[in-house]
Structure 1
Amino acid sequence: MVSSICFLLWYYALSRVNSTKVSVSLLFVPVFALLFGWLQLDEALTVGLIIGVILIKVGVILVTVEKEEN
């Protein structure tokens, strides 16, 4: 269910924004699945899952930050 919502939002964003920028948003699918599982299914949030979310966020930041050219 969550994946289908994410992909619908992805296709909507793809029609409005450059595909390179939108493709990074696919990295957040596991984060939203974790969030909705916690909210709707009362799944436990473990330290490993939280570390995984932090690593995904750091990866997205590394991919999206533009490098300065000398």
Structure 2
Amino acid sequence: MVKSPLGIIFAAAAIALAVSPEARKAARKLAVKGAGMVLDLADQVKDGTRELQSVETVKNEEKNTEQSLLP
């Protein structure tokens, strides 16, 4: 039989999803919300990376301008 508490939890969840249409509907909603949150997080990381790259580009341009102005 199932010996670990985690196995018991997974077995109970599988039975609940197999038997209950309401449980499947709730699980589907949670899966959609979770996927949306992951996509939002990925967008935030991309935006943060772009901001860091643009700041670094500006700093490099300023450094190059200063070097060209110095004798």
Q: Which has the larger radius of gyration?
A: 2
TM-score of the superposed pair, with normalisation by structure 2: 0.37
Higher relative contact order, structure no. (Cα contacts within 8 Å, ≥ 6 residues apart): 1
More helix by percentage: 2
Q: TM-score, normalised by structure 1?
A: 0.38
